Structure 1
Amino acid sequence: MPAKVDYQRFIDAADDWITGRPGTVVLAFLVLTAGFAVGLPAVSTESGTEQFSEDIPAERALQDVNDKFSDPFAPDEGSTQLIQRDENVLSKQGLLRMLTVQQRMAEDPDMRVVETESAARIVARQLDPSASTLEAEIDAVERATPGEIRTAVGTLARENPGFASLLSDDFNPTAPSASATVGIVRHEVPAGISSGSGQGGSSPLEPIQVEAIYVADAAGGDIVVFGSGVIAQEFGTVIGDSLLIVVPAAVFFIILFLIVAYRDLVDLLLATVALGMAIVWTFGFMGFAGIAFSQILIAVPPLLLAVGIDFGIHAINRYREEGLDEDDPVRAMRTTTDQLLVAFFIVTTTTVIGFSSNLVSGLLPIREFGVVASIGITFTFLIFGVFLPALKLYTDGLRERYPIPTFSQAPIGSEGSSLGGVLSLGVEIAKRAPAVFLVVVLLSAGFAGYYATGIDTTFSQEQFLPPEETADFYDVLPEPFRPSDYTITATINFLEDNFESSEDDETVVYVEGPMERNSALESIWRAGEDPPESFVKDGRHARETSVVTVIRDYQERDPAFDALVARNDRNANGIPDQNLGEVYDYLLSSPARERTLNYLTEDRRNARVVYAVQADATDTEVTADTRLVADRYRMGATATGNIVVFKAISDIIFESAIVSLALAIAGTAVFLLFIYWVLEGRASLGLANLVPIVVTVAFVAGSMRYLGFSLNAFTATVLAMTIGLGIDYSVHLTHRYIDERRVQPTVLTALSRTVYGTGGALLGSVLTTVFGIGVLVLSVFPAIGDFGLLTGLSVIYAFLSSLLVLPAALVVWERLFGVGDVDAETPGNGSGAPPTTPTVE
């Protein structure tokens, strides 16, 4: 037998504390729990897409664009949209309703209104050109007859193109009528309006727009308030609603299965206390570490509950089994912890490897998920590996002294039971054709893995939006579990369906360099020549807006400026190529100043170029073409814009999923080889242990594509998580097999005893894990529901793979590295050895 590392002294030290001083251990953990509870109030929430784009170069460029290309002396502003619908918004009553809401908002100093605009205001000024205030405009509409309103609307429809853009597509200028309109209210706000591509984070407009909702409701009719503040509020509400549904549902199902598994009220309470502590510790850590609770972290509580209950079932049932042959509870618990601490340590380490592989992600929320999940699983190991056994032993001591009711203390599963017969199918396969079966499974896994290479990768705002309509089953939930009514998605869909956008889709190039260099403007213009396919073309040039187009437009309005440009245009192509500082000075002192600052910074060090792109072009095509055009610039240029940023995030999601999966598999393999060398002196046993999890990952990935799931910000973590969760089952079975192999006469007998004993506990834990994590399908966020479904599926695959594939892998391993003839008796374990009672983890 190969030499093993002496690790037992560390296990003995832990055993001494757990069994020798259970009261002290319990008290210490309760004190730690109180300490972690102090961090709970510091946990904040974060939502939306902003958090995913923080570290993206294209996002930083977009923020620079939005921050720099405006008047540096102008106050920060944000806007509120007032969407009026379900009435003729051009009737006298409809016009007055919009004007009244805008007036009330303008008169409230807390709303810091600096400007309002609407179709109603335009009509009022057409009726009375001298009306310059909302009060005067309301008077003008009130005095007007229906005929005068009809005439005013008809005139505006002919002479003011901007008027129709504020009205829905069904606008009829002769009636006049329209079913919807959008009014704008701009506010001066403190710094803090997002200048990037994301939505859903905190917004200084939130209190303003919440108050605006009450103002709109008081005016009657149907005026919906929409803006970044409303979006931020609803994102936060959805997180809270999801937790209120998911966590209690997870607890309900877990307790239900715990009742079946434990069949004892006291043990049920002990496990529940331990679960609560795991949650408190993890959330307390988040508070101390300053990690905000985001949508992706909704998966953590059910995850901890499911893994914790798995550990609890193994610990309690193994102790009960040892109690069948051991009258002394202390010795029974010492035997239990002596075995389970090793198994729990292997499971915890491999799980942490799986979760922490997400730390290589280029997206902060996925990295934070990896940190929180890894820390949470480590806490779960300590609580269920040390605290729960000590609490169980301490409580059983109290039972002997006080009349505490005791129900069933029998372990799950027994040899010869119908459950054991079903679970032993893999052993039967291992008896007959283990090598052939293993080859077939590995070839199938290889095909599934190859098929999975076609999985789509997506990232979009829609993945973070609450549903337009919640499912009917939510209606039966009592308060406070019933979700709120959400308006974001319905409002966005209403705007897209009823208002025609007059703008093309856009992409942006952010230019950094000395814009007074003679070739600067020529470089900008030449970059748009012979544009790629996804760009909208004007002749042979891309349709763009830039400082060049500002210069050309203003030339037509100002003869003096036109002469200045002509004097400095050496090649006579309409673009100045010398004395650019003089050209910019003229523009910035003219009425074109504000427009110029939209495309050129005042220090002349940066420029923004906006290109129109085809509406049917894919994000991949637009991003590639924008980068192609950016590479044409002689100065530093970065492709950016919402399309480019979201495509960059999508690419990072795919890269993160692949890299984290590779690291998780490699890290788990290295650890298993090392730990089995330490424990048994046979590193190769780690390879047999790894086979079921590789098969599981391949089939989960293949199922993702077959079921139509894409890799997104949520599901990208599933493959690495499959390793972290799935290794649990194969580790418990392998570790139990090692124990049984020492006392059973043959390999197949040891496998049978392993499955009969541990299989029942594994079935109990897989049910709690699947239902504990599967309740995520109840989340208001569809993406979180997909995550829960895939995670539950991965756990089922891991369980089946461990029961069906692992026995064959162990038999093949024994033939290659062990006894050879698996039916032969092992020396030292002759057939005369007394049979042992199957143990249970």
Structure 2
Amino acid sequence: MDVQIDAQRYIDAVDHWIVDRPRTVIVAFLLVSGVFALGLGGSGTSSGTSQFTEDVPAQEALSDVNDNFERVTFEPDTGTTQLIQSGANVLSKPALLRMLRAQERLRSNPDLQVAGTTSVARTVARTLDPSATTLDAQIDAVERATPGEIDAAVATAAAESPAFAASLSTDFNARSASASATIGLVTHSLSAETGDGAGTSGSSPLTAIQQHAVFVVDSVGGDITVFGSGILSEEFAAVIGDSLALVVPAAVVLILFFLVIAYRDPIDLGLGIVSLAMAILWTFGFMGHAGIAFSQMLIAVPPLLLAVGIDFGIHAINRYREERVQGFGVRDSMRTATDQLLLAFVIVTGTTVIGFAANASSQLGPIRDFGLVAAVGIVFTFCIFGVFLPAAKVAADDLRERVGVPRFGSQPLGSEESVLGALLPLGVRIARVAPKLFLALLLVSTAWLGAYGSGVDSRFTQDSFLPPEDNPDYLEYFPEALQPRDYTVTETTNYLEERFQTGEEDVTTVYVEGSLTNDGALESMWKAGASPPDSFVVDDGHARETSIVTVIRAYARRDAEFARLVARNDRNANGIPDDDLTTVYDALLDSPARERALDYITDDYTAARVQYAVEADASQAAVTSDTQTVADRFRFEATATGSVVVLKAVSDVIAESAFVSLLFALLGTAAFLVLIYGLLEGRPSLGVVNLVPIAVTVVGIAATMRYLDIPFNVLTGTILSIGIGLGIDYSAHLVHRFAEEYDESADVFDALTRTVRGTGGALTGSMLTTVTGIGVLAIAITPVLGQFGLLTGLSILYSYLASLVVLPPVIVVWARYVDGRDARPGREDAAADTSTDSPATG
């Protein structure tokens, strides 16, 4: 590349402030920190899975379904609370009375804003006494009834309404009138809308109501558990706080341990810690000023900032020490260090920002927020560690020399005499012996790992966000103040799944829009369920469905007059009216079946929902594909939706986001590196060299994910672009240092040895610190954070190893065939693979 820029004049301008006016720099950064501190706590918290389902078409259809078909039973701006009752027999007289009294006490409490209640206890009471329409009257009806009368009422209710058994556990026996569990519902009128998505809500106005409801229900006695979105959101928020309470102290201990080893000087250690704290402060302050809510995904941002900040800090101090041990003064040493490192930091920052910002391409808002916050945080980290830390180091060492405080640990990491210095040139040894053979083997193995890693699964389930049912044993070793609470959400959801799902079927939904009064509209809706796909439950060759058609058929069996109306308009006598549908609908909505009908058709007859039973063990992909197949059969506009379809849609978006962000990160990083090395060094091909270790790292991470059965989810879906963003750090430092050493040395191997010893030591300290600091996320309470911590730690380890082992042979081949130098070891080099020269001064 012919065009080069003179970056030195910009570096000199920054050097002037760092070296000649360090106190001014320190004051300026402290003032900016004060501004960002004002934004702390201003962003709020967002948790749960519902934040990821926004803007997904299937979720929008599900919201329409809920708006149209739940608003009749539950008025607008309402929410529900589940009352989960368990015992030897929840259909016994004492158990029925406990449920009725619990619902009555909830209804009579004005703070709970109860709009309505439903339960099998109310159904049994109305069966005993059809005139008992209030909870008080129903309590009286059950109290007056004998056990035999109650058993008969249970049998009658079960025979008249299939929905009766749906609210009872799978061990329900109508003959003996017994069941071990039931679910009652309480509807609340709210001043704010509740979520109606497929995921769990992270912020619910029901939280305070349901927390209060717990105390009210407990006053009744018996085993009734209060459950709902408010309880969920409260525990999801607690998971964030408890995860941070566990992760942050553990990370601090591990990071401090390795920082002490890396810095070996209390003043340098203090400066590094202050700089790390400042980077996190700025980032969280920015979130507050920008109004970005803190979510589960953003828990990963502080460790990422620590990873880059620790790397920058160790490099800055280590490079400065390289100059000091040669006898140069404070200012001259720092000027030389910043001359070299500022450009390296610019390269690392640019590529890291591109890697993180690539997540802005995601369709999911939380992932976009993560990419934005991480990218901004990296820019802040560059400013703090590239300018503030060196200035603070100059000011501290000036003061140290004036006061006479001794220096500790002044030797740079990776010096030739150290054990680490002997191990770091491993890649250089390979480059001396057989670089082309090594790269050929690397190409074959990387291609194989890439093919294997391409089979990584993509999943989005609530389980990834739920705390464990039983806290892990290792938490007992933490101080009591840091131990998390005993969570109930997972235990409750597991109980519901065990007791209330048959294990044979689940439900999927088709949302239908159009003029449902047209002749033959219902017939065509019914035909869509003929010859159902494999995942659908089949009854006599037809999909098992619940719809306005099944409501019409059921009510016709109970009401003779309505049955005659249906028969008059039924051309083929199959129980489905074909003509004069407006009259049929009007009659149905004027009947006792009104509420049931409005669960499946709107009162203007322009939209309907059809629910199909699907096999419970069918995959999300199969259910989604089959539901779309059935939806395509409707002659109306029909959309496949329902919780399973929504979660699969989010899963698909995550997989797409992972691929697209990886593509953007690779292309953006490649373009940036080629451009920057062309402008700064006149060697754009070094940008391609820089990418090789990163490509190996990304392939290794994908293969590891498949081997460990870790899917792409809302956090791990970002790991490939993050692997680029963090991994480029290691290879960029080495390539930039090599370029400077290469210009000063006629021997490629000498330049490589100086590079890996001078920079590899700092990379090792950075790797050990950040792998343990980020890897500590594995102890987070939610599985998704643990997986993310493990993969991020591995991506850093892989990047470190690839930079030290893979990069030297790549550079040797580049020097031979691209740069045109004689990159072949001489006889003396073949016998000895280490240089006896001191680290270069840069």
Q: Shift of the alpha carbon at 1:464?
A: 1.5
TM-score by length of structure 1 reads 0.92
Distance 2:621 2:344 in 1: 46
Which string of whole-angstrom CA distances, capped at 9 and with x for unpartnered residues, describes residues 755-796 of structure 1?
111111111000111011101001000111011111111111
Instruction: Specify the alignment match of 2:16 in structure 1.
Output: 16
Which string of whole-angstrom CA distances, capped at 9 and with x for unpartnered residues, describes residues 674-723 of structure 1?
11111111111111111111111111111111122112222111111111
Three-state SS of the structure 2 residue aligned to 1:41 is: coil
Q: Is residue 112 from structure 1 mapped to residue 113 from structure 2 by the alignment?
A: yes
Q: Which amino acid aligns with 1:28?
A: A
TM-score by length of structure 2 reads 0.92
Instruction: Specify the alignment match of 1:494 in structure 2.
Output: 495
Distance 2:140 2:608 in 1: 46
Q: Which amino acid aligns with 2:299?
A: I
Q: Which amino acid aligns with 2:274?
A: V
User: Relative to structure 1, is the Cα distance of residues 432 and 402 closer, same or farther in structure 2, using a 3 angstrom cutoff?
Assistant: same
8 A Cα contact 1:761 1:840, kept in partner: no
Q: Shift of the alpha carbon at 1:487?
A: 0.4
Q: Which structure 2 residues correspond to residues 262-661 of structure 1 after superposition, within 5 A?
A: 262-402=263-403, 406-501=407-502, 504-566=505-567, 568=569, 575-661=576-662
Distance 2:205 2:100 in 1: 25
User: Relative to structure 1, is the Cα distance of residues 132 and 667 closer, same or farther in structure 2, using a 3 angstrom cutoff?
Assistant: closer
Q: Shift of the alpha carbon at 1:575?
A: 4.3
8 A Cα contact 2:311 2:766, kept in partner: yes
Q: Shift of the alpha carbon at 1:169?
A: 4.8
Of 425-434 and 100-109, deviating more is: 100-109
8 A Cα contact 1:87 1:94, kept in partner: no
Three-state SS of the structure 2 residue aligned to 1:42 is: coil
Q: Shift of the alpha carbon at 1:5?
A: 2.4
Q: Which amino acid aligns with 1:302?
A: P
Q: Which structure 2 residues correspond to residues 729-768 of structure 1 after superposition, within 5 A?
A: 729-768=730-769
Q: Shift of the alpha carbon at 1:605?
A: 2.6
Of 22-31 and 217-226, deviating more is: 217-226
Q: Is residue 50 from structure 1 mapped to residue 47 from structure 2 by the alignment?
A: no
User: Relative to structure 1, is the Cα distance of residues 23 and 430 closer, same or farther in structure 2, using a 3 angstrom cutoff?
Assistant: same
Distance 2:703 2:176 in 1: 58
Q: Is residue 62 from structure 1 mapped to residue 59 from structure 2 by the alignment?
A: no
Instruction: Specify the alignment match of 1:707 in structure 2.
Output: 708
Instruction: Specify the alignment match of 1:821 in structure 2.
Output: 822
Distance 1:130 1:528 in 2: 39
Distance 1:379 1:710 in 2: 31
> Where do 5+ consecutive residues of structure 2 fail to align?
827-834
Q: Is residue 160 from structure 1 mapped to residue 157 from structure 2 by the alignment?
A: yes
Q: Shift of the alpha carbon at 1:86?
A: 5.9
Q: Shift of the alpha carbon at 1:325?
A: 3.1
Distance 1:720 1:440 in 2: 25
Q: Shift of the alpha carbon at 1:340?
A: 0.6
- % identity of equivalent residues: 57
Three-state SS of the structure 2 residue aligned to 1:507 is: strand
Q: Which amino acid aligns with 2:509?
A: V
Instruction: Specify the alignment match of 1:184 in structure 2.
Output: 185
8 A Cα contact 1:322 1:335, kept in partner: yes
Distance 2:687 2:502 in 1: 60
Q: Shift of the alpha carbon at 1:569?
A: 5.1
Distance 1:184 1:501 in 2: 20
Q: Shift of the alpha carbon at 1:797?
A: 0.9
Instruction: Specify the alignment match of 2:832 in structure 1.
Output: none
Three-state SS of the structure 1 residue aligned to 2:390 is: helix
Q: Is residue 720 from structure 1 mapped to residue 721 from structure 2 by the alignment?
A: yes
Which string of whole-angstrom CA distances, capped at 9 and with x for unpartnered residues, describes residues 128-182 of structure 1?
88876656766777788xxx44x34533443332666555455678998755443
Provide the aligned C-alpha RMSD in A.
Answer: 2.9
Of 214-223 and 599-608, deviating more is: 214-223
> Where do 5+ consecutive residues of structure 1 fail to align?
826-833
Distance 1:517 1:216 in 2: 49
User: Relative to structure 1, is the Cα distance of residues 560 and 154 closer, same or farther in structure 2, using a 3 angstrom cutoff?
Assistant: closer
Q: Shift of the alpha carbon at 1:452?
A: 1.0
Instruction: Specify the alignment match of 2:5 in structure 1.
Output: 5
Of 537-546 and 755-764, deviating more is: 537-546
8 A Cα contact 2:504 2:616, kept in partner: no
Three-state SS of the structure 1 residue aligned to 2:481 is: coil
Q: Which amino acid aligns with 2:652?
A: D
Instruction: Specify the alignment match of 2:41 in structure 1.
Output: 41
Distance 1:517 1:280 in 2: 63
Distance 1:601 1:169 in 2: 32
Instruction: Specify the alignment match of 2:260 in structure 1.
Output: 259
8 A Cα contact 1:696 1:722, kept in partner: yes
Distance 1:127 1:706 in 2: 60
Distance 2:3 2:112 in 1: 76
Three-state SS of the structure 2 residue aligned to 1:325 is: coil
Distance 2:27 2:451 in 1: 53
Three-state SS of the structure 2 residue aligned to 1:354 is: helix
8 A Cα contact 1:730 1:806, kept in partner: yes
Instruction: Specify the alignment match of 1:828 in structure 2.
Output: none
Distance 1:299 1:95 in 2: 48
8 A Cα contact 1:411 1:840, kept in partner: no
Three-state SS of the structure 2 residue aligned to 1:637 is: strand
Q: Which amino acid aligns with 1:158?
A: A
Of 395-404 and 236-245, deviating more is: 395-404
Q: Which amino acid aligns with 2:75?
A: P
Three-state SS of the structure 1 residue aligned to 2:325 is: helix
Q: Shift of the alpha carbon at 1:798?
A: 0.8
Work out the number of aligned pairs and report it. 829
Which string of whole-angstrom CA distances, capped at 9 and with x for unpartnered residues, describes residues 222-281 of structure 1?
432111110110000001100111122212211111111111212111111111111111
Q: Shift of the alpha carbon at 1:385?
A: 0.7
Q: Which amino acid aligns with 1:106?
A: R
